[in-house]
Amino acid sequence: MKFTLRIGEQTRTVRVMRAGGALRLQFEDGPQVELDVRRLADGTIELWPGPHAPIGSVEDQDGQGDPLRRLRAAAAAIGQGGERQLWVEGKMLRYARHAGGAARASADAGALSASIPAVVLEVLVAPGEHVEDGQKLVLLESMKMVLPIQAPHAGVVAAVHCAVGESVEPGVALIEMERD
Amino acid sequence: MSAPPFATVLVANRGEIARRIFHACAALGIRTVAVASEPDRHAAWHRDADHVVPLEGATATESYLDQAQILTAARRTGAEAIHPGYGFLSENAAFAEACANAGIVFIGPPIEAMRRMGAKTAAIELAMEAGVPTVPGARQDERGDAGLREAAKRIGYPLLVKASAGGGGRGMRLVREAAELDDALQAARAEAKSAFGDDTLLLERFFERARHIEVQVLGDQHGGLVHLFERECSIQRRYQKIIEEAPSPAVDEALRARMTGAALDLARAAGYHNAGTIEFLLDDQENFYFLEMNTRLQVEHPVTEEVTGIDLVACQIRVAAGEPLGFTQADVSLRGHAIECRLYAEDPATGFLPSTGRLALYRRPHGPGLRCDDGVATGSIVSPHYDPMLAKIIAMAGDRDAARRRMIRALRDTVALGVRTNLSYLLTVLEHPDFATGQTYTAFLGEHPELATAEAEVDEDVWLAAAALEALGAAAGDPATGAVVVAAADGGPSGDPWGRLGRWRNGA
């Protein structure tokens, strides 16, 4: 198995082989590492140096091989598109596994939606109304906060798809606008 | 052992605080009743209650704020008392009155004291009468914006525009110069109107180098009244506390005596009993000013419990039943130091936008000197309807720095994945040299915006962990691999990490 991981700006491809009860990870640009993996009941994993001692090394802060270290980690999918949250020994990061050319659904150009689940507090505009750039169109409330949806440009409100009190999901069009 | 103060108590709240109260009741031998809104039916926190009564509705207004539903649940389960927790109905004098009319004890202060201290203006007037210093400001809003504009000239800048009925930072704006005032008034009025149904505003002088210090008081119905020292809650984002500690690194014995004395004077003037908190602002000249009184249990009460050894919730229940406190000021002492961090489902990098969804993986920290008050478990749904706080982590030790180091360890041991959280942010703050040396001012987070976007270093461990997790399909909640935590293999040495090999996909 071979896949590509992206963390921040860096991308690395790794080849994974099963070696007895262990995992052999071969990074294209780096060492080969053999690891024993244990999955714990709480959802985390432990990585241990493999049975034949690491090929290459797990480098520690001094750049010295440190084959006796155990590494604890966990991950969870977040959002759409293969993004993961990663926890490694108390450190939190995000990474993505290259999905292989899966196109991301692009939002409808003129449609405005909530970025998080929310409840509609106020609808400030009606269809046909002309609005200025930055004008507040809808007020949403989510977890004690009032969040406005603002016009991204001047234009005319083409349609309003929400009503006061309604629960709305992220990405679902609430307002459609036509640019001036 | 004496009889329990009540046979049955209903807890009109949710999440970690409901669970905290169930535990206090259990320790006192009291049967507990939880109420659960529609989205909370499958929540983890009410599993520790003896009974759960479903509430209709999803939003707070439809469920936990619906007095009729709560009172009906109390009547049907034979609850003699209702503990309101914090938030929701906890500071609602009308609800306390409705409880009294229904013959149910409201576990909280007298209704009169709630009314008086709940209205900020009346509370400040009472503080002035009691000789407690108050922040220079304008507390009259009868003449609207014009009146406030004139008052602002007298108070000077910077100043805060606050909603009279407000709390938690809603309806609040910081104004640095006169030119910004009109916009701030307009925005605060709109927010106050929508949040509280009351757009009355007040103005207050704002202090740049200020600390938020609050004094816990506790009284019984027989004239017994004590303070339980102070807490410092200066580390706030958008006026929302995220780190609290007791005692304050800025308060010495002499200042402590002055502040706790003022707090007791005010509590006495208000005819207060049960638990309450008097919030002060402390400037860098050791002047303190009364801000407001919270007539309820505070989120951050655990730090006080840890440094005094007093169970505040148990005391609340006992004094509400008419029992005497059973101890005096001389019996209360301060031991060691405690710090609390609030773990929120929110993203510091995007201005603390709340994050909702499934908590795919949650592991609470444990170890000596640690306490974790939480209301979630792996698989819990973080819904947009309620406060996004997931857990409170409390660390205590003999001194502040030892407690701080314990907290850092605890945060590193906490796993909360599936929603974005402020966990890394909390760690960054705890490790900051200014926090380590007690230079904690309310402006701290605002002056260090870089802390919110700090990125962890990507070392070889990180790549190895990510590669191994992907190779195993072990990312929780991933629809592509179908890995779910409940299906994870046993963690023992014989656990087979290859059990899910059939679901591997070929990556790019």
What average pLDDT does range B343-371 have in this prediction?
95
B8 vs B30, B77, B94, B419, CA distance in Å? Answer: 6, 8, 22, 36
**Residue A146 shares a structural domain with residue A92:** no
**Residue A61 shares a structural domain with residue A121:** no
What average pLDDT does range B126-134 have in this prediction?
96
Of A7, A100, A143, which has the smallest distance from its Cβ to B388's Cβ? A143
3-state secondary structure of A46: strand
**Residue A38 shares a structural domain with residue A123:** no
Q: At B313, which amino acid appears?
A: V
% residues pLDDT > 70 (chain B): 93
In a domain, A102, yes or no: no
Q: Which residues from B are below 8 Å from A142, CB to CB?
A: 354, 356, 384
Q: Which residues from B are below 8 Å from A44, CB to CB?
A: 361, 363, 415
In a domain, A23, yes or no: yes
**What band does A53 get if pLDDT is binned at 50, 70 and 90?**
low
Q: Which residues from B are below 8 Å from A119, CB to CB?
A: 59, 384-385
In a domain, A106, yes or no: no
3-state secondary structure B53-114: EECCCCCCCCCCCCHHHHHHHHHHCCCCEEECCCCCCCCCHHHHHHHHHCCCEECCCCHHHH
In a domain, A105, yes or no: no
What average pLDDT does range B94-112 have in this prediction?
98
Instruction: Cis check for the bond before B158: say yes or no (omega within 30 of 0).
Output: yes
**What band does B501 get if pLDDT is binned at 50, 70 and 90?**
very low
- Give the range with max mean pLDDT: A157-171, B94-108, B191-205: B94-108
Candidates A35, A80, A97, A136: best to mutate against B (most CBs of B within 10 A) is: A97
The domain that holds A141 is classified in CATH as 2.40.50.100
**Residue A20 shares a structural domain with residue A91:** yes
**Residue A133 shares a structural domain with residue A65:** no
Kindly report the average pLDDT of chain B as a whole number: 91
Distance in Å, alpha carbon of A67 to nearest chain B alpha carbon = 12
Single out the residue of B241, B307, B267, B293 nearest to residue B442, CA to CA. Answer: B241
In a domain, A103, yes or no: no
**Residue A141 shares a structural domain with residue A170:** yes
pLDDT at position A104, please?
Answer: 32
Ordered by start, the domain boundaries in chain B are: 8-107, 135-205, 460-503
Count of domains observed in chain A: 2
Single out the residue of A47, A124, A73 nearest to residue B476, CA to CA. Answer: A73
pLDDT at position A103, please?
Answer: 30
**Residue A120 shares a structural domain with residue A68:** no
B377 has a pLDDT exceeding 70: yes
Q: What is the domain range of residue A167?
A: 111-179
Q: Hey, is the C-beta of A89 within 8 angstroms of any chain B C-beta?
A: yes
Q: Could you report the per-residue pLDDT of B466-498, keeping only the tens digit for each?
A: 999 998 888 887 554 434 333 233 333 323 333
Does CATH number 3.30.1490.20 belong to domain B135-205? yes
Instruction: Give the pTM.
Output: 0.80
In a domain, A93, yes or no: yes
Domain end point (choices A97, A130, A152) = A97
Q: From B504, which residue of chain A is nearest by alpha-carbon distance?
A: A1
Cα–Cα–Cα angle for B264, B270, B272, nearest 5°?
70
**Residue A21 shares a structural domain with residue A87:** yes
B232 has a pLDDT exceeding 90: yes
**Residue A87 shares a structural domain with residue A115:** no
Q: Could you report the per-residue pLDDT of B241-258, keeping only the tens digit for each?
A: 999 999 999 999 999 999
Candidates B363, B469, B498: best to mutate against A (most CBs of A within 10 A) is: B469
**What band does B156 get if pLDDT is binned at 50, 70 and 90?**
confident
What b/e sequence results for B138-165 when a residue is b if at least 16 CB atoms lie within 10 Å of its CB, and e otherwise? bbebeeeeeebbebbeebeeebbbbbbb
Q: How far apart are CA A156 and CA A127, in angstroms?
A: 8
**C-beta atoms surrounding B285 within 10 Å:** 8
Q: Which token pair is A120?
A: 């509609």
Instruction: Cis check for the bond before B247: say yes or no (omega within 30 of 0).
Output: yes
Single out the residue of B459, B458, B460, B457 nearest to residue A31, CA to CA. Answer: B460
**Residue A142 shares a structural domain with residue A73:** no
A3 has a pLDDT exceeding 70: yes
Q: Which residues from B are below 8 Å from A24, CB to CB?
A: none
Q: Could you report the per-residue pLDDT of B394-431, keeping only the tens digit for each?
A: 999 999 999 999 999 999 999 999 999 999 999 999 99
Q: Which run of H or of E encompasses B19?
A: helix B15-28
Question: What is the ipTM, given to two decimal places?
Answer: 0.81
Of B387, B427, B461, which has the smallest distance from its Cβ to A143's Cβ? B387
What average pLDDT does range B317-334 have in this prediction?
98
**Residue A22 shares a structural domain with residue A46:** yes
Q: Hey, is the C-beta of A87 within 8 angstroms of any chain B C-beta?
A: yes
φ and ψ of B190, to 5 deg: -65, -45
**CATH number of B8-107: 3.40.50.300, 3.40.50.20, 3.40.50.880, 3.40.630.10?**
3.40.50.20
Q: Which residues contact A175 (CB under 8 A, 6 or more apart)?
A: A111, A112, A125, A137, A138, A149, A157, A159, A160, A161, A162
3-state secondary structure of B497: coil
Are B366 and B384 spatial neighbours (Cβ–Cβ below 8 Å)? no
Q: Hey, is the C-beta of A138 within 8 angstroms of any chain B C-beta?
A: no
Single out the residue of B476, B411, B472, B454 nearest to residue A8, CA to CA. Answer: B454
Of A38, A75, A93, which has the smallest distance from its Cβ to B458's Cβ? A93
**Residue A79 shares a structural domain with residue A115:** no
3-state secondary structure B192-218: HHHHHCCCCEEEEECCCCCEEEEEEEE
Q: Which token pair is B165?
A: 């009925």
In a domain, A39, yes or no: yes
Are B414 and B430 spatial neighbours (Cβ–Cβ below 8 Å)? no
